[in-house]
Amino acid sequence: MVRWPTKDELTQKFVEYLIGPNKTIDDLQNQWVAKHLILGLREAVYMLVVVLKFVYDNITAVTATGEKLDELGEEYGVERKAASKAIYSVTIGKSSAVTSDTPVPDNFLVTTTPIGNDPPIQYRVIPRQAKVIPYGRTSVDEVLVECTEFGERGNVPEGAINLVAQAGFDFVSNAVVYRAGTNIEEDEVYRQRILDRKRNPGKGGTAHDYKTWAESVNGVVSALVIPLNRGNGTVDIVITGVNGIPDQVVIEECQSFIETKTPAGMADGGVKVLAPTPITINVTLENTIWTAGYSVETGSQFVQSALIDYIERQANKDRVVRVVDLLTTAKQAYNPQDPSKKPVLVDFSMSVPEANKFLANTEMAVVGQITIT
C-alpha cells in the first residue's frame, strides 16, 4: 500500500535539502525568508499529495480492471474469488447384481444428455473415494463426481447427469448438488468488495467484518449479519449462494472460515452461518395478448426469464416482492435477440400473487410456479 508523506515529513525533507542533514525547522529561527519559503513550498506540495491520494484512493479502485484491480484488492487484503468446479453426488450401478465387490474407478466419466448442438457436460468421479458396489447389489450411492469445466456451466438441474460415458457400468442416476460451481468473480462484484473494505477497515469483529469474511468464501454471493439474533454474545450470518439457497458444503466452509476469525472470548456456537429460509413466490398470468409474431408458446419463456430475474435479484435486494413490480416486469419483458427490445406482451391479468410479500431478515424469495395462459 502506498504511504503518503505527512506535512511534518515534507517539512523535514525540505529543510534537509536546503541546509543539510540532521537539521530541523527550528534551526531557521533567524532565517525568516528561508523558513517561510520552506513552509510555503510544503503547503503547495502537500496539496498535491492530497490530490494524488484522492485520485489513488477514490478513482483508481473505481476504474481499474483485470490484473490492476487484483493488485489493488491485494493491498487491502481482499482477494478475487477464483472459479470452481461443480460437484454432484450420484448413484452409479449395473443392470444386474454384481458377483463380487466392484469398485468405481477414479475419474470414471459420466455426462448429461446432449441437447441440440450443445455437447454434453462431463463429470468425473473424484479420486480416492473408494466407492464399491457390494457383492449382490446393483449400485452404490453418494459417489461424488466433479465437472471437467470450471464455472457455473456445470450447475445442471438435479437428475440431469444421466449417461455413462465409458464401459464398466450401466447407469448413473439420482444426481444432486453437493457443491455448486462458480465463475471467477466479476470485476464489478470484486470492486465493490474492495471499496467496502476501504470504507470499513477491519476492526476485529464488527458486523461489517463478519460480512467481509463471509463474502470472501468461494460460493458465497452475499451475507447478511444479524448481531444478537440469539441473545447476547451471538452473531448470525445469513448467506446466499450461486443458486440462491447455498448448498450445505458452502455453509460448512463459511462456518469453518469464520471460526478462524472469531475474536477471543466469543462463546462456542456464538457465531452461526445459516441459509435463508426460502419463501416460494408463485406467479399466474392469464388472458394474455401477445405482440405480433409471439404466442403463449413462443413468448412465455421471455416473460418467465424476466420474472425469475426480478424475484431472485431485485425483490431479494429490496426485501419485498411487489405486485406492481411483477406487473411492470411482465409488461416490459422482451426477446434479448430483438434489438428494438419491444415487449412481447400486449395485455394480461395477474391473479397470483394478490398482495406484496415482505421478507424477514432470514428469508429469501425463490421462484415457485410461473403459469402463463
Q: Which residues contact 81 (CB under 8 A, 6 or more apart)?
A: 182, 184, 185, 190, 216, 218
Average pLDDT over every residue of 308-333: 92
Q: What is the pLDDT of residue 39?
A: 83
**pTM for the complete prediction?**
0.69
Question: At residue 42, what are phi and psi to the nearest 5 degrees?
Answer: -60, -45
Confidence of residue 171 (pLDDT cuts 50, 70, 90): very high
Query: Do 295 and 212 share a domain, yes or no?
Result: no
159 found inside a domain = yes
Q: What is the pLDDT of residue 58?
A: 58
2 found inside a domain = no
pLDDT of 1 strictly over 60: no
Q: What is the pLDDT of residue 57?
A: 62
Query: Do 287 and 364 share a domain, yes or no?
Result: yes
Helix (H, G, I), strand (E, B) or coil at 150: coil
Domain of residue 75, residue span: 65-81+190-199
337 found inside a domain = yes
Note the pLDDT tens digit of each residue in 115-146: 888 899 999 999 999 999 999 999 999 999 99
Query: Do 59 and 116 share a domain, yes or no?
Result: no
Q: What is the pLDDT of residue 65?
A: 82
Q: What is the pLDDT of residue 316?
A: 87
Note the pLDDT tens digit of each residue in 65-99: 888 889 889 988 899 999 999 999 999 999 999 99
115 found inside a domain = yes
- Residue pair 154/147 in contact by the 8 Å Cβ criterion: yes
184 found inside a domain = no
- Residue pair 28/20 in contact by the 8 Å Cβ criterion: no
Q: Which residue's entry shows cell 404466442?
A: 295
Query: Do 75 and 107 share a domain, yes or no?
Result: no
pLDDT of 50 strictly over 90: no
Q: Which of 131, 45, 32 is nearest to 89 (CA)?
A: 131
